Amino acid sequence: MPLLLIVYDSETGNTEKMANAVAEGAREVTGVDVEVKHVDVTSLDDLLKADGLIVGSPTFYGLMSAKIKKLFDESVKLHGKLDGKVGAAFTSSGGIATGAETTILSILQALLVHGMIVQGRAKFKHYGAAGVKSPNEKEIKDCRNLGERTAQLVIRLS
């Protein structure tokens, strides 16, 4: 079965809540294994094994966290080996208009450099799921939707 890996960083627990909601949505899709890992325990081997990768980070000055960036910096060793895998992103931020969209785009940019296929959305929140502080039920629903849509794409492409 294809594997969808959800990697996240979280200091306050907000991004972790979102990661778990993304996983809930992905697990609604039959035929895909879902694994959730904190960035501290994620290896380059984990990225290689996965057919899809959803990355979540808190927003720090409109960018991904240093720990997520470090994982991407180390992933240069895998350059070309993630090509064609599915990718998506989500973030939590301290308030509205505080860099959530640019944080998601910074993650997607790293996925695209690896040649990954990015899961977008035609409706609102085109680039990924975003939450403010402790995610509310609507934001959790957006996370579940991101997980479900990405899992469906992983299956379609596997």
Q: What is the pLDDT of residue 2?
A: 98
| Tokens standing for residue 124 | 């609102």
DSSP three-state, residue 56: strand
d(CA 44, CA 122): 31
Q: What is the pLDDT along the chain (158 residues), one digit of tens a residue?
A: 999 999 999 999 999 999 999 999 999 999 999 999 999 999 999 999 999 999 999 999 999 999 999 999 999 999 999 999 999 999 999 988 889 999 999 999 999 999 999 999 888 889 999 999 999 999 999 999 999 999 999 999 99
| Alpha-carbon distance values, 85 to 7, 30, 82, 119 (Å) | 15, 19, 6, 11
Residue 29 has a pLDDT of 98
Q: How many domains does the chain have?
A: 1
Q: Which pLDDT does position 61 carry in this prediction?
A: 94
Q: What is the CATH number of the domain that holds 118?
A: 3.40.50.360
Token look-up 């081997």 returns: 45
Structural domain of residue 146, as residue ranges? 3-157
Tally of helices (H runs) and strands (E runs) in the chain: 5, 6
pLDDT at residue number 64:
98
